[in-house]
A = this chain, B = another copy of it.
Amino acid sequence: MRHIVKAALAAAMLALPAAAEPAPGGPLTIERQGSFFIGGREVKADALSTLPAYAPSGTITVDQVYVRYQVPAAATGRPLVLVHGCCLTGKTWETTPDGRMGWDEYFLRRGHPTYVVDQAWRGRSAASPVGINRVRSGKAPPDELPTVFSAGHEPAWAIFRFGAEYPQVFPGMLFPLEAQEEFWKQMVPDWLNSLPTPNPTVPALADLAQRLGGAVLVSHSQSGIYPFQAAALNRAGIAGIVSIEPGACPAATGDMAPYKGLPILVLWGDYVDLSPRWAPRLKGCRDFAAAANAAGGQVENAVLPEMGIKGNSHMLMQDRNSLEVADWLAGWLARKVGPKG
- Which A positions have Cβ atoms within 8 angstroms of B? 23, 27-37, 40, 42, 45, 48-51, 54-55, 57-61, 64, 66, 68, 73, 89-91, 94-95, 99, 101-102, 105, 118, 123-130, 132-133, 135-136, 138, 142-143, 145-156, 181-182, 184-189, 193
Contacts and interface: CB of A to CB of B under 8 A. Distances in A.
A46 to B, nearest CB: 10
A133 B148 contact: yes
A118 B55 CA distance: 24
Nearest to A135: B142
A49 B150 contact: yes
A129 B57 contact: no
A182 B60 CA distance: 12
Which of A48, A142, A181 counts the most B-chain CB atoms under 10 A from its CB?
Answer: A142
Contacts of A124: 89-91, 118, 123-124, 186, 188
Nearest to A87: B54
Contacts of A45: 152
6 contacts: A34-B99, A49-B150, A55-B154, A55-B155, A89-B124, A138-B142
A178 to B, nearest CB: 15
A61 B145 contact: no
